[in-house]
Structure 1
Amino acid sequence: MAVDGDETAARGAGSAAQGFMALPGRTEDGRQLFLKCLADMVRVLRLDVAPESDADDERQWRHQVRGALREACRQELVLSEASFGVLMKAAVYDPDPSFNRQFVEPALNAFGYRRVRSALLDYLRTGTNQERAGAARAWYWSALPLRLSKVRAEGSDIGGQAEVDDRSVMVGEWYEAALREFVRNEHLDVRRCILPGLPLRKSAYPPELHDLVEAAVMIARSHPDEYIRHRVEHQVRG
């Protein structure tokens, strides 16, 4: 699978200036699972897109779905309870670490930071390795400001419940779970995806986790994967 959108694009010019390597593409091909996620989203959100089975080109159909969702978010989009699950699943299974924002952002605006982050944390703790890696990619966008003023959950007013959420909610829980997962899970995609968002300063954790921080740094520095070795040195120096 080709890498769609590197990490420097997602993180902006500041990261590019530091010379970060692009986050490699996943080692597992999850395109068919992602297509199913998109098909479910088209059905549940009632997006104006023809079924994937009628499309001549798979890639073009994916772009059509993304475009239809963007357009729906510009309108008064009311998201049902079922919409939350399909948006989060699409965000987790999306192979692109920049485009998955398109699924996280409407979920944030309609359902709030706590619910979105709780779902991602659950994927990290109990999901498959593909889901754990995808949750780590999607977590980056879970701090976005709420700018989709016309997107709301069914039964709520525009700009209602989501606005009261704190953008710092559940951050400590995520850091601890991600640190533990990085140390215990040897799966390459999981470690590659967790590392960029993982603080490697002991001051970011309670004393009982300091040994795990040291273990994570040691694992990353001695890892056979070039991206992980490269990335950890930037983070330890930062």
Structure 2
Amino acid sequence: MTTDIGKTLLIGASGGIGSALVEALGEADLTTLSRSQDGLDLTDEASIRDAADRIEGPFELILDVTGALEIDGQGPEKSLDDIDPEAMARQFAVNTIGPALLLKHFAPKLAREGRAVFATLSARVGSIGDNRLGGWYGYRASKAALNQIVRSASVEIARKRPEAIVLALHPGTVATPLTEKYLGRHPSVTPDEAARNLLKVIADRRPEDTGGFFAWDGSRIEW
């Protein structure tokens, strides 16, 4: 599959969704970054800064597909009694602060003229309005905080790049190692299908969509 999205930077390219996106992007002008291949560490700002310094833009699309549900063997909390401050801090380090630092160091590499997109993976469970089951405190809160960062960044970036689009995306439940313990509770899709869905959602967005939270099918998700 090829795409006309433009010059693309894919961050998290070695993961399940990331690898599928590399395949889906086909012959696109693609630059990739990942922890396993490039040593990129989302919990270390110097690592992110160094990666940004090595890479030349501008990019029409910067797509961040990093994130973690279980970190160091710690699964989602089922109740308040399960909250562990260190485990919650790690959730925020990977799922909130890491993407915020990616925005800090890579958003300046978005094209200044014309349409340009910075998209990062959030999750429907990060929606406060959609939360009717409770639990999963650290992961939910870290993704809700990420959504706020995306919203704020979209306002700031638009001042210099009026056609830029900053997005939080929910890929659906994707059958990857990240979700393998939780498959069966919700319908799932393969990484290949998720990659195609994400690229379509990105391709369909316009500047007036900036700062939005969108599902894999292009529908808006409430905050």
TM-score, length of structure 2 as denominator length: 0.31
Higher helix share: 1
The structure whose residues are more often strand, as a share, is 2
Which entry has the higher C-alpha Rg, 1 or 2?
A: 1
